[in-house]
Structure 1
């Protein structure tokens, strides 16, 4: 690998701009993340994309908002526009945990240091730029802007907020993956079209004043959602908006969305079609250094970079549509897959990095096993409005063949410098269960599962059943926990067949809408009976642009407008969380009292059986089996499934 010069990175200072021989810049990009020139970091992708269109681009990473604001003027004014992103994560997720406590680490900052990214970074940066440079357009994008493009609930302030275009005063918003709309915006600007006149580009949103005329487009149908002012007064009306927003976001031929915001009108143009293989390859084949900017050399490693340094992203998008997840809202429901040639080219680049030791940390994507999957008959997908292709059942039109993925893994492993490639991304285990994935070839599913288990896992395979309660799972758009049992049977069979000692690690969520204390008790009992002692769990965090967040705030399901109860108080959340840790002494008395009140002696007998309690008294210490063991802790001859007595909602 050739030695890199400072000019190999996008410039971040006036000195670096002059090294390139530039007198002026076309675009200056402000980012909430440290600058890592890698295709997994959105700000770097946007910078490189703009550069590929022949523009002179500079990036200002993590500008200081607590001094004289010198970072916002040091590079002067760009010829075309400022671009602003809060970073690879919503800044509020970066800064706070599910309990609204400030995190002690920021994964996208050198050394994990905190304090380099303001809350609501996109709005903060944009307001400063509009104050300093009132006549220069500001274009916002990234996940923060994308998921806050309409009226949304903000968990951290516990209130409804208008479109981020209103709160930030930005001129335009690009939502989702930005390559396609940016190309068109740049094309129009280079033709001499004023920025203020650009308002019909797909996958963009603008806020129109009373004086602005609604641009006409005979190819688009329009739909108006409930105004921001009405949403503030009527939670049910707010909930009703989301069905339209989600369906239009996932359509291949979507309608243009309008929403009144005071005396202004928000206009969200339809999204672009899913990126073609050629288009997504072009994005990944740009001249990234794949390294943090040298300015950070003495500040310490950037945790997020260290995690993906030797990983390969093979596709974008997710058709799971989980009600608590934002991936499809940002990246889209349809899968955009890279060609095997492009992936192998990147593998070769990584393999020739000087500190590569032969191990690829991840060959994956949002869901590792959705590569190359799409509709068998495209015209059926063209008319589809379903938010998920695999819930409540796998669509009969979906090609779920894992053969291209298995072949890709084998091709990667054939590289002479690759000793082993791991699958670090989450795997949809339900798609590997023939009883659920009925249209797939069972042998092909087993071949893929065996390939992963024997060659691409380092001791543990992590999957996410998320819950055991069917009503909760239905709301989550996840399959019945029955299929996790089925998957575990296949996992154990392959483990024995190949004389492996792999551990299956399931992930669960507490405090999700529709989840009651009794559901968590069921979860604890059923997972214990399977041999798991859970040590790491996740509390539900309401993030903008998800079904679950709409329910959390409004109390209504946006598709049915029926009421759904959600644990909201700290007491409720803590109590649900305690069931995960039934084995801890400090929780036992509380669990015993709670289950006695619920009349669930059956669950109590599983979680805290008298014989086991006596055994612990006589022999104190850690239980013989932990959550890592494949052997059940309390296996019985007749398997019992623990289900809530409540009727499904």
Structure 2
């Protein structure tokens, strides 16, 4: 069994007759050999090129010795914090330590350090001073320039400077890592690789030409939030592989240089990558701990594409995977599904066929494949581009082909569905077929908010699109005779959202009879447009000022309003309504959110002081319980299902 996995020990090396590896891959996550996990993808890609690769997962970082476990690599050390930013893996939006880690054996937290990329790189340098170090993955990719760090509440250097790595591979990385590997094998120095796309490096002599953009320095963006916003806008606008220029940012007497993004993968390249010999399970070393929880949701899922033109401003997928959708062929996906069907644990259910957004199966328009995306225009969001290709025909045909395979009982669609894109296609047939064959009782969608100026700042469609889609969804289920529900995700405390806006969202939830059991508080993760708004109070794309709820109490009030029925939230909801001048929402009427306080009672018992049931029945005769199940939202942090949008060293 072990010989089918990538090397993880000296014993594995001996069994293969290897005395030295070409690459040692330091991974902040447990090793799962599945195409949804970047360490497996990058390791398999290099292995397919003939390189000897070994993985050291979650090494004890308190000394350099564990980093020597597989010996000195012949070519380089590859380092990643894991599938998530290590700070996000460890801490919540309230900066509290998380109790679990789905990317660790048994879900046990504490298996990686804070700022793991930096710690691992420094330890590897201590172990082997002359070995080139290449960092990558989501943590490195989104911290490649001077950036705001929410957990320390300050602007930090590029992670390249703090880690002292030789190169940074940003984005998905298959192209760049192979080019780096081949250059190292040819005996080239790091300085001879500065023309590779999709990398960052540090130099004292940056290339300043008409094809470069010089951003404000680290010192300038740290000193002035307006300058930070201007620098972010420059970086944001040069992330296209077809017209993006070289970016340069000074820090003291050194310069961080980013080469243009790697070109999108072709369909043939994606097919080849996803058909590498993945075992689709965690390494056997983790069996005793009960395995790696993050695998469960994606073990029987298919990645049909990558990239996203959704431009949700709080999401880093567009910055990381790119806005140009790259897809796999039907034939390749069918072959993968057939291999999956033969696995001993397969029960007939394919959990997902999708990517970052399930129904974005092709580029938003054909121009993108030769000229790139529009620099100052989004494809979807508050407005739809008139050139948008909204066809769902290919995705629908793919789902039909997979569900007809012998051994498949059901094919679900569980990755994000962009319903405004469905509406733009005017595609009732897609919704009906989705409800009939591909929904398991609940379909998750993400309106995020209901106030237009907030959804505009989020890069989302307004609430009317959600209501229209809900009508379509309900009509489709009535037609086919099923009781299925939409589970909408909403977010509190996003930049631009005031307390008044949070009350409006609570009223919407009341009117829609929605009772979210879990809600998502905005977390300013590095690299996103929303994080730049949070830190600066400015929309970098327009220069307009943006309200930001920064105080913990302000954030707590917004979050509590989304769960106003929770007795534990009574006091904070009461305070929020009073501050907003909305005492009309405190009472026993059908539009009220909470009842009045009982005389002489502070609310240790919260809203258990609601009116008696008989009074409630009299006020609202015949009123039935809410119709939409609870909203379980952990999608933008640990505990969410492991998405199939892997990244290089992510």
Normalising by the residue count of structure 2, what TM-score does the alignment of the two structures yield?
0.90
Q: Which residue of 2 aligns with 1:158?
A: 153
Runs of 4+ in 1 over 6 A off after TM superposition: 609-613
> SS of the residue aligned with 1:461?
strand
Does the Cα contact within 8 Å between 2:487 and 2:629 map onto a contact in 1?
A: no
Q: Which runs of 5+ in 1 are unaligned?
A: 631-649
Residue 514 (structure 1) aligned with residue 496 (structure 2): yes
Give the one of 528, 531, 536 matched to 1:549: 531
Shift of residue 489, structure 1, vs aligned partner: 0.9
- Find the counterpart in structure 1 of residue 283 from structure 2: 293
In structure 2, what is the Cα distance between the partners aligned to 1:566 and 1:399? 35
* SS of corresponding position for 1:527: helix
Residues 442 and 486, structure 2, Cα contact 8 Å, conserved in 1 = yes
Distance apart, 1:74 and its partner CA? 2.0
- How far off is 1:613 after superposition? 6.3
CA distance in structure 2 between the aligned counterparts of 1:44 and 1:71, rounded to whole angstroms: 20
Shift of 1:405: 0.5
> Matches of residues 434-473 of structure 1 in structure 2 within 5 Å?
437=424, 440=425, 442=426, 445-473=427-455
Q: Which fold has the larger relative contact order, with Cα–Cα distance below 8 Å and residues 6 or more apart in sequence?
A: 2
- Pick closer, same or farther for the CA change 1:602–1:34 going to 2, 3 Å: same
SS at match of 1:115: coil
Shift of 1:601: 6.0
**1:59-70 to 2 correspondence within 5 Å?**
59-66=55-62, 68-70=63-65
Where do residues 257-272 of structure 1 align in structure 2 (5 Å cutoff)? 257-272=247-262
Counterpart check, 1:499 vs 2:481:
yes
The verdict on how the C-alpha distance between 1:615 and 1:382 changes in structure 2, with shifts beyond 3 A counting, is same
* Residues 1:608 and 2:593 are matched in the alignment: yes
Q: Please give the per-residue CA displacement for 1:351-375, whole angstroms capped at 9, x wherever unaligned.
A: 1101111011111110111012431
Q: For each residue in 1:169-217, what CA deviation from the matched residue of structure 2 results, as whole angstroms up to 9, or x when unmatched? A: 0000000011011122222223332234221100000011x3xx4458x
Aligned-partner Cα distance in 2 for 1:466–1:607: 23
Alignment root-mean-square deviation, CA: 2.2
- Please show how residues 79-478 of structure 1 align to structure 2 within 5 Å: 79-208=74-203, 210=204, 213-214=205-206, 221-250=211-240, 252-378=242-368, 381-382=371-372, 384-386=374-376, 388-433=378-423, 437=424, 440=425, 442=426, 445-478=427-460
Q: Deviations over 1:112-150 (max 9, x none)?
A: 011211111111000011122111100011111000000
State the Cα distance separating 1:376 from its structure 2 match: 3.5
SS of 2:562 mapped into structure 1:
helix
Alpha-carbon shift at residue 629 of structure 1 (Å): 6.2
Q: Distance in 1 between matches of 2:470 and 2:231?
A: 39
**Whole-Å separation in 1 of the counterparts to 2:354 and 2:91:** 27
1:17 partnered with 2:7: no
Q: Matched residues in 2 for 1:103 and 1:424: separation?
A: 25
Query: CA separation in 2, counterparts of 1:6 and 1:614?
Result: 63
Note the C-alpha offset of 1:602.
6.3
Q: Shift of residue 578 of structure 1?
A: 1.3
Structure 1 residue 588, shift from structure 2 partner: 4.8
Maintained 8 Å contact 1:316/1:365: yes
Partner residue, 2:641: none
Shift of 1:386: 3.5
Q: Rate the CA distance shift 1:295–1:387 in 2: closer, same or farther, 3 A.
A: farther
- Given the superposition, is the C-alpha separation of residues 423 and 381 from structure 1 closer, same or farther in structure 2, using an over 3 Å criterion? same
Aligned to 1:73: 68
In the alignment, is the contact (CA less than 8 A) between 1:181 and 1:202 conserved in 2?
A: yes
- On the 8 A contact 2:324/2:373 being kept in 1, the answer is no
In the alignment, the residues of structure 2 paired with residue 615 and residue 520 of structure 1 have an alpha-carbon distance, to the nearest angstrom, of 28
SS at match of 1:207: strand
Distance 2:459 2:371 in 1: 19
- Which residue is equivalent to 2:43? 47
DSSP-derived class of the 1:607 partner: coil
**Whole-angstrom CA distance in 2 between matches of 1:561 and 1:156:** 25
Cα distance in 2, alignment partners of residues 140 and 21 from structure 1? 28
Change in Cα spacing, 1:617 to 1:173, as seen in structure 2 (3 Å) is farther
Moved more, 382-391 or 122-131: 382-391
List per-residue Cα deviations over 1:433-462 (Å, max 9, x = no partner).
2xxx1xx3x2xx211111111111111111
Q: Equivalent residue for 2:29?
A: 33
Confirm or deny: 8 A CA contact 2:309 2:379 kept in the other structure.
yes
Residue 550 of structure 2 corresponds to 568
Indicate conservation of the 8 Å contact 1:250/1:387, yes or no: no
Q: Which deviations, in whole Å up to 9, do the C-alpha atoms of 1:27-63 show, x marking residues without a partner? A: 1100001011110000111111111111111111111
Q: What is the rounded CA distance, in whole Å, between the counterparts of 1:362 and 1:629 in structure 2?
A: 21
2:520 to 525, 538, 555: 538
Closer/same/farther in 2, CA of residues 608 and 144 from structure 1, 3 Å limit: closer
Contact 1:454 1:498 in 2 (8 A): yes
Structure 2: runs of 5+ lacking an equivalent: 597-608, 618-622, 631-650
Between the aligned partners of 1:233 and 1:319, the Cα distance in structure 2 is 33
Q: Does the 8 Å CA contact 1:465/1:508 hold for their aligned counterparts?
A: yes
Using the TM superposition, give the Cα deviation of residue 564 of structure 1 relative to its aligned residue in structure 2, in angstroms: 1.1
Match of residue 561 from structure 2: 579
In structure 1, what is the Cα distance between the partners aligned to 2:197 and 2:107?
A: 37
Per the normalisation by structure 1, the TM-score is 0.90
Q: Is the 8 A contact 1:450 1:494 kept in 2?
A: yes
- Mapped to 1, the partners of 2:256 and 2:95 lie a distance apart of 30
Any conservation in 1 of the 2:29–2:57 contact (CA below 8 Å)? Answer: yes
Deviations 1:500-545 (A, max 9, x none): 1001111100011011111111111112212212222100000001
Closer, same or farther in 2 for the Cα pair 1:215/1:183, shift >3 Å?
Answer: farther
**Match of 2:526, SS?**
coil
Q: Between Structure 1 and Structure 2, how many residues are aligned? A: 611
